[in-house]
Amino acid sequence: MNFERLYINGEWVSPQSTERIKVENPASMYRFAAVPVATDTEVDAACRAAADAAWRWQESPLAARLTICEKMLAQLLTRKAEIVDIEIQELGAPSQMAEKVHFDFQVERMRTFMRLAQEIEFREELEHSTLYREPVGVVAAITPWNYPLGQVVQKIMPAILMGNTVILKPSQHTPLSVYYLVDAFHQAGLPKGVLNLVTGRGGDVGNVLASHPLVDMVSFTGSTIGGIEVGKHGLDSVKKIHLELGGKSPCVILPDADIDQAIRACFNSLLLNCGQTCSALSRLLIPEDQKEAIETRLVEILQEYPVGDPREEGTKIGPLASEKQFTKVKKYIETGLAEGARMLTGSVPTEPIGGYYVQPVIFTDVTNDMQIAQEEIFGPVLCVITYKDLPDALHIANDTIYGLNAAVHGPFDEAVAFARRIKSGNVYINDSARDVTAPFGGYKMSGIGREGGIEGILEFTQSKVLFDHDA
């Protein structure tokens, strides 16, 4: 795959600028590839191509869009081994995770979107009118580095299926797997202009996209600070804004919970992707009278999650994705110690040698007003916070600017009742599995709108009402 190209108006084109952004393997610190920095002229060309294609694509029947998506998926499956390898290289994802989470699960998502799209009612008779659901138009999709393929799938699949055209700007840190997806659409015969790929830095290319007059909707996933900036650019011309942002998600262990089950569920969330997940359960709320017993099991069960080379069998935690992330996480660990938290396990990382590896850190004696308990660390760092009673636990769980994800462990009815009072878009009960048909998104500063499921598909539509019935 030639990564030093842009995809504009149905063609792989050579970039105008000679500037390149190097892509680093975080497990070896070796820069093994590079992508172009799109100029404002190229971003404008991509937006114009998407706008020119918008009407024709909108008029195409859903069946035709589904056929192209099915052909795309068939193409993508033939490149599975290459994509998995790229995810290992550009993100540092352990091999099994790269295959199961970063590829197989995304294929399942694609198939789910294609199935659910057929359930959408594009025309609905109301009492005295007819409701039509139409495409928004031209969508700028700006995606993060932590799930290079997955975050793209969440946006462009429903956008394209609903008849929108797309300009995709992936993260400059992990942009490579996206090339395979775009090329699969190309090979599947996607009409010119429906999907365009421009690479570059978010503050440059992303902001130009968000401000462009031909863009009708901005769909952004990333930090809350980044989302606010992009949203401001989009609102200058009153675009539709769709934001999936940060989190500081609580995992609440109720007094009669299965402790081991709760700890493993928390670790499976927190340590997935080396803690670089917006929905990671990074605050563990436990009854103060069970503190010692739970701390003991935390240390013991953590041994089931070894850190190592992503390509080695048995590795569950790879490196952090970049030097920037390494420095950020190191600073937060130092901050936690300075705030008076006690390190139950782990250490302050030294300067990286051979890769950006960080051993998981469990902080105990944490109070919810500490910086490490309030800010998104985006690394393998767990904050253990005790509570006196259930009202205290609920207060702590909701005492955050975020509201993306949560979990409650305990007797089912009690856990559900507690979960209903948590201000969060998603809450897991005990060992429940993730549902790909469910919407995902947050309360408060965790975002605007939803991704996934029917609700996530409808984000890429707008409603038109014709008052065409006699009263």
Alpha-carbon distance values, 279 to 266, 298, 337, 423 (Å):
11, 20, 24, 14
Name all contacts of 304-312 with Cβ < 8 Å and 24+ positions apart. Answer: 304/264, 304/267, 305/267, 305/271, 305/360, 307/357, 307/358, 307/359, 307/360, 309/27, 309/355, 310/27, 310/88, 310/92, 310/93, 310/94, 310/95, 310/98, 311/27, 311/88, 311/95
H or E element at residue 297: helix 291-302
468: tokens are 């065409």
**Alpha helices of 132-172 — where are they, by DSSP H?**
150-161
Q: Are 231 and 241 in contact (CB under 8 A)?
A: yes
Which one, of 270, 246, 194, 141, lies nearest residue 9 by Cα? 194
Alpha-carbon span 407 to 404, nearest angstrom: 11
**Parallel, antiparallel or unpaired: strands 240-244 and 447-448:** antiparallel
Task: Say what angle helices 62-77 and 80-91 make with each other, to 10 degrees.
Answer: 80
Has 278 been annotated as catalytic? yes
Identified catalytic residue from 42, 99, 244, 295: 244
Has 251 been annotated as catalytic? no
Q: DSSP strand E in 212-306: where? A: 217-221, 240-244, 249-253, 281-287
Identified catalytic residue from 278, 383, 451, 459: 278
Q: Are 282 and 249 in contact (CB under 8 A)?
A: yes
Query: Which residue numbers are catalytic?
Result: 244, 278
